[in-house]
Structure 1
């Protein structure tokens, strides 16, 4: 989910000077794919991996491309998928300037949007030949399942760093449908078997990698799924779908800010489906309502979804666009699938930022009393839990600002009596608690590592959700850890100053990434243990 999410606010989209770049070519079936070579890497952008999901293919499972012919111009990005408008929350003028700047910097790349958006970008070291068998990092962007683009982050930075380390990789970034185009719920969606279409798009992109990545010099047997926020959560969902059978599509997972999430049937999202139908002129409950929605204009459907809640609405991380149990991709509550052992048996890395919840607490600054906070939790996260359970949550997340997020800041940044409290709750409920649950359930059965990102702090927000992206896409410590893991299935370097051990419930060692001359240190993953255990219990017992 973003949990959720992220198109990066502080990493600019790279613009390519194709006039000064040489070309690279790859043969796919009977087609020649033309890319560009510059700065040590060759990029093939905007390659379709599925048929355009337009017309009668709107709100349908992605359909594979049977064969390529002719010439494919892969020198510029393809269209972004249709994005939901994410308007940053309005906050008081007297909050730290850094928060205002952070919110103002958010935005999506200036790439045209279209429903015809199911494309991949492939970036390789220049000179890589077919059959080079380089390991592959398959990137899934975040964005709370509402926004996101494979053009938002500079994959060439990661590839160039892999070359410098002597461990070259192939980078693949996929687009997938979001919001009403990719995650519409409701009874009609379930009956048609077309829930969680964005996850299905990702799965189709992975099948494309298996079929075609050899032509780019990649090894289809050495694919690591990698994502952040909603993309990270997506990696976990790919691990639990299909009874845990990964179909040979990937051999490892690298997850930043997101594991599984407790979920109920997508039919509980019927009010959102009916709202969308009404907004576009279709009759809710009618026999042909789904076909009617397929026939409306793109602009009409986008306008309707733009009226639905986002992560910047009052409810924060409570939106109608998270994946749910659809009977096809997710056959049960994902946490139940984990408990049943239906998880792909692969090594994985799973970590979070220290202050995952601060960004999502900004929309609820008008919550200023204990009574209002009780109601906020009941309406948005714990509607099925008894009042006594919510009261217990308030005890575990007290009003003491020193206990809240951003953590380690004492009484500072207590913008309202409840801000740091709500931030701590949302961060643990959606991110930290589920991370720890996933590790405790799986680490004794498969190799796993966990980390806590404590760098790039923003005044008032701390190590805010998405702050790790500037590191992994900016030649930081995470970049090297990722590259080594993609290559060797172990993030450690032979000569590392700090050895990062695998996680076990008995010895829950965690790698902390911090600012300063010693950027890596080991800590115990035991913080807020009682509170997180209780939140996990509530999440799984009373899923929304």
Structure 2
């Protein structure tokens, strides 16, 4: 169970699958024609590394993305992924990187269809400091194959966008130029490119679902509230895995301004009349080296220059206030978290209560009264650690206290507020992922629980574990595989029908994922040893309510 099934090329003819001729696929976009690749094993066509914007280099560095304004005759090859945008962290050495990185990819089933297919657009995560569309963990072929086997084919799209200072530089000198939230604007331009060109690949521009994980999910959330919730008809549904519209923002004149000043000093730009133009003129390798050094020597500065900006434009106000005002695009959403999100955010040097208190004050810039309130709402566990929602192993009470607190602070409280708000205006399907990956990718392994990102393998149907340090499906139970199969089917149903239960309100084995409702706020729990069940979304309700009360006034979101 868990092996990859391969399909021969076929087409639909009155409901019957029949073979079609093979050959290199071509697609004619508004700028010109591309030649892609045909993968016979998956029966899919790949169009990879296509530009959707001009290179953000030279004077276009730290500038809003510019649409591609060139055309060509003949055909260009679209047969390999473009380089990742410049990024920092653990993935830096794994992938080819470049400042010239704004490319887009299309994976389509190799079928002849009587109509245009729905489109799923994936936004990768990486904390706004890294990531890229060629990461094999996000290989789109597996879920596209499953969709085709279900007779619910869709076209999958991924793309690169600028991250870290290259995509989220902020400060007073930046905000006045309009060149804010560049990574988000890259994403927006990619969505416009899809509207203009996806028909050339067999996709339906009116049936687009945007879909992301981690910071990619938060980006998806931002596009729901972008420009005050203006609906530009770029998508009809959204999926957020461990992310929400409630992104923490960088406030001009606050931490980001100090970080910008530090960057200009390190680059010799601090005394120039136009510091932003000076930064554009720094050789790319030199600037990249300086930013990489910051990521190692002073990561808080890099973090401050990697946050979205409250710019009064694409992010018009604090996201929590926009949600409160119902200023968002009202489309169906799937949104959820893992059980132990916070385990991935606990710093490794917390050895006592005073260190946690200091960390919240210094790293999160929280007032002392807020720190004390949080510590009282999240006391260290007094009973057996196993009574918490963690696997056996680590018996460090401070770790578990910090993990619960940070998980709620970063993701879980925002998830709940999003569900409560969206469910008043559109269908909202909430989930909690509660199945341990096989070994996981964390230092603590199973002791840290069901951590941030644990759902990625099952959602993508990546049963061979491509791209993972350890295959999350390795030595897993039949229950885990059954849970994964259900998740894949429900994600496919949502992309094709805007409902995880499918157009007939039924999924496999007649399982129903109920929509979230204020009177009955239910999560679908995907887990192991119980593959699926529902629960009331009320965990740590008092603490979560407190966090959501301080969103705009303290948290900057």
* TM-score, structure 2 normalization: 0.84
What does 1:364-513 correspond to in 2, within 5 Å?
A: 364-383=347-366, 385=367, 387-400=368-381, 407-409=388-390, 412-415=393-396, 417-457=397-437, 458-474=445-461, 476=484, 477-493=486-502, 494-497=506-509, 498-513=511-526
Q: What do the CA deviations read for 1:2-61 (whole angstroms, capped 9, x no partner)? A: xxxxxxxxxxxxxxxxxxx95211112362211111121100000000111111100100
Gaps of 5+ in 1: 1-20, 88-106
Hey, what's the Cα distance between the residues in 2 that align with 1:335 and 1:503? Answer: 19
Partner residue in 2 for 1:144: 127
Deviation at 1:221, TM superposition (A): 0.3
Hey, what's the Cα distance between the residues in 2 that align with 1:166 and 1:108? Answer: 39
3-state SS of 1:235 partner = helix
Partner residue in 1 for 2:13: none
What does 1:32-51 correspond to in 2, within 5 Å?
A: 32-38=33-39, 39-51=42-54
417-426 or 207-216: which moved more? Answer: 417-426
Deviation at 1:132, TM superposition (A): 3.1
Specify whether residues 209 and 128 from structure 1 end up closer, same or farther in structure 2 by C-alpha distance, changes over 3 A only: farther
Hey, what's the Cα distance between the residues in 2 that align with 1:524 and 1:154? Answer: 33
Matched, 1:528 2:537: no
What does 1:510-521 correspond to in 2, within 5 Å?
A: 510-516=523-529, 518-521=530-533
Deviation at 1:407, TM superposition (A): 4.3
Hey, what's the Cα distance between the residues in 2 that align with 1:411 and 1:23? Answer: 52
What does 1:42-61 correspond to in 2, within 5 Å?
A: 42-61=45-64
On the 8 A contact 1:109/1:151 being kept in 2, the answer is no
3-state SS of 2:98 partner = coil
Specify whether residues 410 and 171 from structure 1 end up closer, same or farther in structure 2 by C-alpha distance, changes over 3 A only: closer
Hey, what's the Cα distance between the residues in 1 that align with 2:126 and 2:169? Answer: 16
Hey, what's the Cα distance between the residues in 1 that align with 2:497 and 2:403? Answer: 37
What does 1:116-515 correspond to in 2, within 5 Å?
A: 116-128=100-112, 132-152=115-135, 153-259=138-244, 260-263=246-249, 265-268=251-254, 269-283=256-270, 286-309=272-295, 319-361=304-346, 364-383=347-366, 385=367, 387-400=368-381, 407-409=388-390, 412-415=393-396, 417-457=397-437, 458-474=445-461, 476=484, 477-493=486-502, 494-497=506-509, 498-515=511-528
Deviation at 1:488, TM superposition (A): 0.6
What does 1:81-92 correspond to in 2, within 5 Å?
A: 81-84=85-88, 86-87=89-90
Gaps of 5+ in 2: 1-21, 438-444, 463-483
On the 8 A contact 2:209/2:238 being kept in 1, the answer is yes
On the 8 A contact 2:248/2:308 being kept in 1, the answer is no
3-state SS of 1:460 partner = helix
* TM-score, structure 1 normalization: 0.86
Deviation at 1:414, TM superposition (A): 2.7
Calculate the aligned-residue CA RMSD, in Å: 2.4
On the 8 A contact 1:128/1:216 being kept in 2, the answer is no
Hey, what's the Cα distance between the residues in 2 that align with 1:369 and 1:452? Answer: 30
